[in-house]
Structure 1
Amino acid sequence: MVGPGVSLADPARWLRYNRGMPRTDSYSGLFGADGTRVQRKKAIPEVPAEPGLVVEDPASGFCGAVVTIDVREVTLEDRHGKRRIFPLRPAGFLFEGQLATLVKPAPRVQAGARSASGSVRVAGLKARTARASRIWVEGIHDASLLETVWGHDLRVEGIVVEPLHGVHDLAAAVRDFGPAPHRKLGILVDHLVAGTMETRQAASVAGPHVMVTGHPFVDVWEAVKPAAVGIRAWPQIPRGTDWKTGVCEALRWGEPADGARRVLGAVKSFRDLDSSLIGAVEQLIDFVTVDAAVDTDPR
């Protein structure tokens, strides 16, 4: 007996009784009408095809970074600069080794009153006359990043950014500049950590009219968040190897010039940068704009 007045010898009565009983396990949907197990397909993620995102076409093995995309197709560029166009199909690409569906990125929401640095945007801005004060950075990549993120702010304040191409003789360059109360100098340095040559150079020139700030990374590329360029983390490069060259080899980006296009093209706002770089640049802008005069020096 399985219940009051219900016997397995009477299948019909047993079935009616069983329907009313609570069930602890449910196999609903696990088996088809023919008794075979239903195979559930794993959901394929949709990945916004932001410029610089690295994916692979599994059919041809072509691996490259996204250059352009529309509603029908995407253009990829490999590490040798070769470009190919592929149709946008569901589960049509490999992203980080897994099948993915590339989709056109959603239009970036315009901040309206905000610039790329997060500051209040000045409507109808006309760049003011350049001040005598300057901001120096180590190279053209640093200058490009500052222009992308802080360009609006710099034009509002009339501050010019100049690349140094290295800080090996920083003291002489500062002497030639001639810092003064009306002619301040802000210097952004890579790899500004204790015990480095950069830190010693910075200490030798810092003063009331000269501010040196920086970030802890070997190169300014590394101050760009890995997710912004479509990687999980920046690779570790052995000491003695040129950092940019080592990174491009490890990530199969080709030459450093190819890597620069990927990295600099991926930065859209301050959100793509490490906080150490953001803080360093903001300090310099504040420093050189306090009581700074308009530049009348013909140099």
Structure 2
Amino acid sequence: MTPADRYSGDILSGHARNHKPTFPTMPAKPGLVVESRADGFCGAVVGFERTYDGDFIRLEDRHGRERLFKLRNGGFLFEGQPVTLTRYVAPSAPAQSNSGSRRVAGVEAKVAAPSRIWVEGIHDAAIVEKIWGHDLRVEGVVVEYLEGLDNLEQRLAEFQPGPGRRVGVLADHLVTGSKETRMTQGLGPDVMVTGHPFIDIWAAVKPERLGFRQWPQVPRGEDWKTGICARLGWSDPKEGWNRVYRAVNGFRDVDPTLVGAVERLIDFVTVPELSKEDLL
């Protein structure tokens, strides 16, 4: 072969720069925990935005910090493996919703009602959406992430609840004498707070769904999620949340206290004839 032969034809074909690596694709479903390969930011998917510069997802880390990331080829890590995230599209509705209600063919979601349900934690919001999402959309109920009960007073002042403009709040660790219970008293007739008794929404998921008999005990003062992962042999809270989220497919997978709390909030914001006293 002469030197001329070696350089004949398409000299760029086969060059490594022309063969981009391919990665598994994964829908960016709300609640999915991923890590940005660019800078290591780790968080749960909490939103999607389409801009002039392309499609972005919004991630929130365990400290409540949010950031936008462009959906790039292989731009994220899921359970340590590079993946390409795509926009999540909810699947077609089955005959029955996850909360157990019958889905009716041809029924469209109502226009968003003025009332709202606020959910204290990002993981709580993901589980509520997974179980009750269809029912809430049919009723026109908007679910919003509260980012902690410390923000409740300010958010209520901005929202200004009143007749026909109710707010239902789902809180963690709502037991007699707790700080959370004290923070949610005396809020007026158009605001109702319900919740579950567990320190974190993870513990409201039935442990047998995750393959063990009961949630481990974590001493007071130790970070609960970190302690749980250490005792169950999970690498970190990111892996823990993925395991918990995948274990939930319907209301039968969570403690009845959570089911009752959410159902009461839905009734409160959709049936104006019912008062808080009727539901608590």
Among 90, 103, 109, the alignment partner of 1:121 is: 103
Partner SS, residue 133 of structure 2:
helix
Report the TM-score, using the length of structure 2 for normalisation: 0.62
Number of the residue aligned with 1:134 = 116
Distance of 2:140 and 2:259 partners within structure 1? 19
Name the amino acid aligned to 1:288.
V
Distance of 1:250 and 1:273 partners within structure 2? 21
Superposed counterparts of 1:1-299, under 5 Å: 81=79, 113-205=95-187, 207-291=188-272
Q: Which runs of 5+ in 2 are unaligned?
A: 1-77, 82-92, 274-280
TM-superposition CA deviations, 1:249-279 (whole Å, max 9, x none): 1112122121111101110010001000000
Distance of 1:115 and 1:214 partners within structure 2? 22
Aligned-residue offset at 1:170: 2.1
Partner SS, residue 168 of structure 1:
helix
Partner SS, residue 173 of structure 2:
coil
Residue pair 1:213, 1:280 contacting (<8 A) in 2 also: yes
Distance of 1:240 and 1:150 partners within structure 2? 33
Name the amino acid aligned to 1:251.
L
Distance of 1:159 and 1:174 partners within structure 2? 17
Distance of 2:79 and 2:173 partners within structure 1? 31
Report the TM-score, using the length of structure 1 for normalisation: 0.59
What percent identity do the matched residue pairs reach? Answer: 58
Distance of 1:245 and 1:204 partners within structure 2? 34
Partner SS, residue 129 of structure 1:
coil
Partner SS, residue 149 of structure 2:
coil
Name the amino acid aligned to 1:257.
K
Residue pair 1:116, 1:270 contacting (<8 A) in 2 also: yes
Number of the residue aligned with 1:52 = none
Q: Name the larger-Rg structure.
A: 1
Partner SS, residue 137 of structure 2:
helix
Aligned-residue offset at 1:82: 6.3
Distance of 1:276 and 1:238 partners within structure 2? 23
Residue pair 1:190, 1:218 contacting (<8 A) in 2 also: yes
Number of the residue aligned with 1:24 = none
Q: Which runs of 5+ in 1 are unaligned?
A: 1-79, 84-110, 293-299
Aligned-residue offset at 1:177: 1.4
Aligned-residue offset at 1:173: 2.0
